[in-house]
Structure 1
Amino acid sequence: MLGEDVAVTTGSVADAAATDRSGGTAADATTLRALAASDDAAVTTEGADALPYVLLEADVPEGSAQVRLVWTGSADADARLTLSVLDEDAETWTAVDTVTTASADDTVTLEAVVDASLARDGTLTAVVQHGIGWAGPDLSPREDVAEQHHADDTPRSEYDFTLAWESDTQYYNAQADIYDRQTSIHDYLLAQRDDLNLQYLVHTGDVVDWSGQQEQWLRADPTYGDLDDAGLPYGLLAGNHDVNQTTNDYTQFSQWFGAERYEDNPWWGGDHLDNRGHYDLVSAGGIDFLFVYMGWGAGDDQIAWMNDVLAAYPERIAFVNLHEYMLTTGGLGPLPQRIHDEVVATNPNVKFVLSGHYHDAYTRLDSFDDDGDGVDDRTVTSMLFDYQDLPNGGEGYLRLLHFDNDSQTIQVRTYSDYLGDYDAVHRVLDDEHQEFTIPYARAGIRAEPHRLVSDEPARRRARGREHRGLFAGARG
């Protein structure tokens, strides 16, 4: 029984895979009565900027062979819920059931029969976890940043969190005399990380200018090491200058920026061919993101891998990050057109494509009829950003994407802290491609707090089932 043989703890975590749940709150008598009651009482666990969970610790009688676990409840819409059992030997969770909610009113059940040998000292530990990957804590509330770094900054009170984007930094890392433009980007992001509530950084390739020159990698490595040391979530990919362009050899890129450098990060989802492609799972502001990266020279295997990853996380807002995609006119070359047709068009969760390579800025919109009813129901925003042929390799310009849940918009801005300005107008007719607003509605974004509700649904009570909304029972 709950409170006797079964203990319940609720809480939220930044890392969905974390085995340490010591920060949770043990259920009190009132909570246990609500979980056990045959009425409409329910227990809600919320994570404002984290991922909620319900931890179950069940006493397993000696001689038991199996334990049956059942959880019934609900969550916010499009929430991935996973029932896992703690493997203390491996210090990991083993998933035994998972489900994704269709709507906030969708009642779901997770259940499994597991081997009683997983119990330690007579106790089996299981968790119902909302979400997957990483949900970084809010680093500042939007109301409390009083002094702006720059007079033209978007006021902190006007957005919830920020994503940043850099691209084609190759000249900075190739030439010692302009390397300070590269360090200025990362120094700015780290110094202003809290005030921006910076949750993630994207790099769309060409870290260096010539992959065969060791000194360029040696110059680039420490400034990305600063991001690693600070625990700032970021992802990058190989542009054409990061590989041998004759053979597509990724040896140098893998040596410096291969999977080993990143695979222990809690936001790391997995990779393809030692970080030729990879994906990250990040949640911020009540939005679950999937960042998919693919490096230079994608072929059949790389396109298939991207499609497999996107299909595995249909509930998340997906960014497809490439080096080459959009031309400066908004058109697509042969390989980008193939990726557009076979990846972007075929996966309804793809909402953004980011790219560099071509020296300019452009934004393009594509609409898709995903359900075949003759009406477009998804718009993909594709953005090109590469200012490397400005003086001094680009003058340290980067992109800032400010997400505002109140106005339901993303403010896209282009800024150089090295120059201290937002004025990087670069071979475009006007400013529409360097500073603009993306409505959440157009991007298919719905921001809502992560919420996990444990309950015993009426349909089970009416059928006289013996198990409750949160239950563990031993089997001999």
Structure 2
Amino acid sequence: MDRKIYFIFLFSLILASCSQKARIVLLPDTQTYAEKYPEIMESQLNWVASNAKNINFVLQQGDLTQNNNDKEWQVVKDNFSKIDNKVPYVLAVGNHDMGSAVGKFADVRNSTIFNTYFPFADFAKQSYFGGTFEPQKLDNAYFLLNTGKVKWIAITLEFGPRNEVLTWANEILAKHPDRLAIVNTHAYMYSDNTRIGEGDNWRPQAYGVGKDTGEKAVNDGEQIWEKLIRKNANVRFVFSGHILNGGVGTLTSTNDAGLPVYQMLANYQEGVKGSVKGGNGFLRIIYLNFKKNTVNIKTYSPYLNEYKLEKEHNFDFEQVNFSSSKK
């Protein structure tokens, strides 16, 4: 075989192999690092930057900060800047990332500081940026991402998304039926492997924004499922944080189209049972194999260079449908 042809053939095999796999990184609730241990967040984002060629995109599940102040937001900004133009990333607004003043969490829906440190204009320049619910605000946004042959739409939703936001999200998903969807939001799953609902702690309705009514009314996990997730055949994954107790929860549900939806809570912040230094840098790596139709979840800390091996942190899904529909 001609040497040039051989290398073209080899390169095509490598590309084909790469297109059959993807790797997504989840960075849940970084608030304790922003407040007390900035070196741990630095280790996380340095690791992402060092492995940029092998990471397709990063999703963060909200509560970027603990106290929603400039000092903590600067820590967050400095660290995420390490992966600017290297790895696409999607952020969520948690209850600790909004409020009327420092120390007042989600008493009102004010995310001015978040949108100052992560301005709309910077994200709008990215080729993968889709759009937002409100002009110039990233609280509710969607992103069009590609991993080989699989096209994705990732929608990030505010803490306790309003009814009008869920209406918008339904419209966006309907416009992109050919894309496999991920919903990324702060409060959705509970620590007992169910969705957040009546009687649960830390429900969005318990905060100041929970007093809003009509189109401004907030929604918990079960309501998000009923009003958005189950109705859209292309939604395959939902990722969230927020909840303490054991800090993890996993649920597979069947949507109205008869397709599985994989829903996961991961949270390692201060206050979670067994948490050390606000989580010791543990993050989640989602390995997707489109050829074998599998998803493997690993929980890893770049700070410690250790994995969590317990079954709630290290598990697989098989026979995963990576199509945006039954077809």
TM-score of the superposed pair, with normalisation by structure 2: 0.80
Separation in 2, partners of 1:268, 1:187: 23
CA contact (8 A) 2:299 2:313 kept: yes
Cα distance in 2 between the residues matched to 1:257 and 1:338? 29
Change (3 A) 1:300 1:406: closer
SS of residue paired to 1:432: coil
1:191-340 pair list within 5 angstroms = 191-194=50-53, 197-211=54-68, 213-228=69-84, 230-244=85-99, 245-273=106-134, 274-331=137-194, 332-333=196-197, 335-340=220-225
User: C-alpha distance in 2, partners of 1:320/1:265?
Assistant: 20
Following TM superposition, by how much is the alpha carbon of 1:366 offset from its aligned partner in structure 2, in angstroms? 0.8
SS of the residue aligned with 1:329? coil
Displacement, 1:271? 0.9
CA deviation after TM superposition for structure 1 residue 399, in Å? 0.6
Following superposition of structure 1 onto structure 2, how do residues 132-171 of structure 1 map, counting pairs within 5 Å?
A: 160-171=21-32
CA shift digits 1:172-224 (9 cap, x unpaired):
1112xx11110111111111222xx211000010111111x211111111111
| Counterpart Cα distance in 2 of 1:315 and 1:367 | 19
Is residue 34–residue 66 contact of structure 2 (8 Å, CA) maintained in 1?
A: yes
8 Å CA contact 2:44, 2:301 repeated in 1: yes
Asked if structure 2 preserves the Cα contact closer than 8 Å seen for 1:322 and 1:355, the reply is yes
Which residue matches 1:15? none
Greater strand share, structure number:
1
Cα deviation, residue 239, structure 1: 0.4
Paired residue type of 1:445:
F
CA distance in 2 between counterparts of 1:227 and 1:295 reads: 23
CA distance in 2, matches of 1:292, 1:341: 17
Structure 1 position 141, deviation (Å): 6.3
Q: Is the 8 A contact 1:316 1:349 kept in 2?
A: yes
Mapped pair 1:183 → 2:42 = yes
Q: For 2:149, give the aligned amino acid.
A: G
Match of 2:7 in 1: none
Residue 420 of structure 1 is matched in structure 2 by 305
Q: Check conservation: 1:200, 1:233, Cα contact below 8 A.
A: yes
Whether the 8 Å contact between 2:61 and 2:94 is mirrored in structure 1 is yes
Q: 362, 384, 387: which one pairs with 2:265?
A: 384
**8 Å Cα contact 1:173/1:179 also seen in 2:** yes
> What is the alpha-carbon distance in structure 2 between the residues aligned to residue 249 and residue 164 of structure 1?
28
Residue 352, structure 1, aligned to residue 213, structure 2: no
Distance 1:339 1:233 in 2: 25
- State, as a whole percentage, how many aligned pairs show the same letter: 25
State how 1:40-55 maps to structure 2 within 5 Å.
none
| Contact 1:326 1:333 survives alignment (8 Å) | no
CA distance in 1, matches of 2:27, 2:114: 18
Where does residue 405 of structure 1 map in the other structure?
290
> Which residue type is aligned with residue 197 of structure 2?
G
2:191·2:249 contact (CA, 8 Å) conserved in 1?
yes
Q: Is residue 413–residue 434 contact of structure 1 (8 Å, CA) maintained in 2?
A: yes
For the Cα contact (< 8 Å) 1:320–1:354, is it kept in 2?
yes
Could you list the runs of 4 or more consecutive aligned residues of structure 1 that deviate by over 3 angstroms after TM superposition? none
Deviations 1:417-460 (A, max 9, x none): 1111102x6xxxxx332111122x33x2149xxxxxxxxxxxxx
Is the CA contact (8 Å cut-off) linking 1:355 and 1:383 kept in structure 2?
A: yes
For the residues of structure 1 that align with 2:193 and 2:41, how far apart are their CA atoms? 27
Instruction: Deviation per CA, 1:270-303: give whole Å up to 9, x if none.
Output: 0122111001111113111110000113112111
**Which residue of 2 is the match for residue 434 of structure 1?**
313
Cα gap change, 1:160 to 1:345, in 2 (>3 Å): closer
CA contact 2:229–2:255 (8 Å) conserved in 1: no
Structure 1 letter corresponding to 2:81: G
Structure 2 residue corresponding to 1:445, chosen from 310, 322, 325: 322
1:407, CA displacement in angstroms?
2.3
Give me the whole-angstrom Cα distance separating, in 1, the residues matched to 2:122 and 2:61: 17
In structure 2, what residue type is equivalent to 1:264?
Answer: K
Normalising by structure 1, what TM-score? 0.55
Q: Distance in 2 between matches of 1:369 and 1:218?
A: 43
> Amino acid of the residue matched to residue 333 of structure 1?
G
Aligned length: 276
Q: Alignment partner of 2:178: what SS?
A: coil
Kindly state the Cα deviation for residue 242 of structure 1 after the two structures are TM-superposed. Answer: 0.5
Q: Paired residue for 2:280, among 380, 395, 414?
A: 395
CA contact (8 A) 2:238 2:263 kept: yes
Partner of 1:343: 228
Instruction: Assess, with a 3 A threshold, how the Cα gap between structure 1 residues 369 and 298 changes in structure 2: closer, same or farther.
Output: closer
Higher helix share: 2
Please say if residues 233 and 256 of structure 2, whose CA atoms lie closer than 8 Å, have aligned partners that are also in contact. Answer: no
Check the 8 A contact 1:248/1:297 in 2, yes or no.
no
- Provide the C-alpha distance between the structure 1 equivalents of 2:156 and 2:75, rounded to a whole number of angstroms: 23
CA distance in structure 1 between the aligned counterparts of 2:235 and 2:81, rounded to whole angstroms: 30
